[in-house]
Amino acid sequence: MLLKGKIHYAWFIVAIAAIMGLISSSMRFAGAALVPHLNDSVTGFGWSYGAISLAFSLQWIVLGLVSPYVGWLGDRYGVRRLLFLGALLFILGMMLTGVMNHLWQFYLYFGVLLGISSTMFGVLTISGVTLWFRRKLGVAMGIVWSFQGMGTIGLLLLIGAAFDRVGMQWIFWLPGIAGGAVMFLLAGFFYNGPAEIGLQPFGARGDEAIQPRQRDESAKVRAKVFIQQAKRTATFWNLIGIHYWGCMGHNIINVLVVAIAVDRGLSLGLAAGVLATQQAVGVFARGAMPVIAERLGCRTVWVVGMALQVFPLLLILFSPDPWAFYLFAVLFALGQSSEVPTFPIANRQYYGNVPQSSLYGWQNVGNGLGMGMAPVCAGFLWDVTGTYLAPLLLSLGFSTLALISAWFLPSPRAKLIPDWETHLPASLRTPA
């Protein structure tokens, strides 16, 4: 079950997923630093802020729309094949974005192609890691999610240091070629599950049989039957809702907190420091939250986390002082980081060792639509009302809905559909 040095291959899977997440998600978040250049008619194209922000929203909307299909394909054909395709789309999208001349190309190359690529890595690596662990899944997820934040910080530094020297084209080409090549290479070492190389999952009981490798058709039937049964539980839909409400609530803040701070009287330097503090705390919090959720239960973590998305908003709603914004940044980062990284833990606690890609893909509908719609809705409200108060109250409302939804989750101590395999043909059921 172990490799040389007693390191289980599951931890190599974690390292591969972490590096892939670091590369694939970095441009989605760090790309916001390019917005002023895209708006500048000298260094960029002179596009309006609204037109530019639509491309960033489009990436998230694409994630929400295609995630269930990506998850279904992962369960049917295996993760590794799609990761190769995702790496090729990443290279293609970054190369084409580097030579774009028109706004529609920005939407197609950056919004759609990179949106599909990042969806593949976001859904398949996370669900793929889940299959490799019976214990320590929280530690594994913490490592993967922490690296994603580090990638964003690294690319931000690259943009700040090198844009004036290399220009827009190579800012996309450098990480596109190098990052895409690394992901393509690593995909060859990302096995679809421990059984593929004759191993048990990490932490499996000594008497647990190594599951036979499933053929494409068998995997398709198992995934289809499980999702049919899962959709009959209220928790299946509530988890999608928590993802949607929570992401709407925190992405409004992610996009507009600097503008809100400036509008409330902070200098631009202090306002940028608020966002930097939030991001820095988030790197560590995303590593810790899955571990805590595995020990205390996902419901407890989400109730506390969503409360930390709600009540700290009152600090900046009623106080314009810098200390209030910085305290808000720390507390809100803890709350925001409790949501997304803990979904694989919740899936294991509520459903057990089931086909993961389809389940996580459906949940990313809420994630993608929430993250994508938030900037558009909040920016529109600010434009119409002329004040930061409207988007701030909108974030407060969405985060409150996420808190209420988390409160009504059942206890994760008992599996919701432990007998789902009785709906399978006998030959496809897991051996006792």
Q: Are 332 and 308 in contact (CB under 8 A)?
A: yes
Q: Burial, 21: exposed, middle or buried (Cβ in 10 Å; 0-12, 13-18, 19+)? A: buried
* pLDDT value for 31: 73
Dihedral sign computed on CA atoms, order 224, 347, 140, 137? negative
3-state secondary structure 195-230: HHHCCCCECCCCCCCCCCCCCHHHHHHHHHHHHHHH
In angstroms, the CA 111 to CA 107 distance is 5
* pLDDT value for 160: 74
Interval 134-143 mean pLDDT: 87
Could you state, in order of their start, the residue ranges of all structural domains in the chain? Answer: 4-195, 233-410
Query: What are the tens digits of pLDDT across the range 50-95?
Result: 787 788 888 888 988 888 888 888 877 888 889 999 999 999 999 9
In angstroms, the CA 82 to CA 73 distance is 8
Dihedral sign computed on CA atoms, order 207, 208, 213, 214? positive
**Can you list the alpha helix ranges (DSSP code H) found in 111-215?**
114-130, 137-187
Interval 375-400 mean pLDDT: 86
Specify the CATH number of the domain 4-195: 1.20.1250.20
Structure token digits, residue 203: 């932490």
**Can you list the alpha helix ranges (DSSP code H) found in 352-388?**
356-385
Query: What are the tens digits of pLDDT across the range 257-272?
Result: 877 888 888 887 788 7
**Which residues share a beta bridge with 202?**
133
For 387, the 3-state DSSP assignment is coil
- The average confidence (pLDDT) of the chain is 85
Dihedral sign computed on CA atoms, order 419, 422, 427, 428? negative
pLDDT beyond 60 at 1: no
Query: What are the tens digits of pLDDT across the range 342-356?
Result: 998 898 899 987 777
* pLDDT value for 4: 46
Q: Are 407 and 303 in contact (CB under 8 A)?
A: yes
Band of pLDDT at residue 188, cut at 50, 70 and 90? very high
Identical fold, 4-195 and 233-410: yes
pLDDT beyond 80 at 207: no
pLDDT beyond 90 at 189: yes
In angstroms, the CA 24 to CA 88 distance is 12
* pLDDT value for 240: 93
**Does domain 233-410 fall into CATH 1.20.1250.20?**
yes
Interval 147-156 mean pLDDT: 75
Cα–Cα nearest to 376, from 48, 5, 24, 56 = 56
Of the two residues 64 and 220, the one the predictor is more confident about is: 64
In angstroms, the CA 20 to CA 260 distance is 33
pTM score: 0.79
Dihedral sign computed on CA atoms, order 33, 37, 43, 44? positive
Tell me which of 32-46, 223-237, 291-305 is least confident: 32-46
pLDDT beyond 70 at 32: no
- Determine what percent of the chain is predicted with pLDDT higher than 90: 34
The secondary structure of residue 312, as a DSSP letter, is H
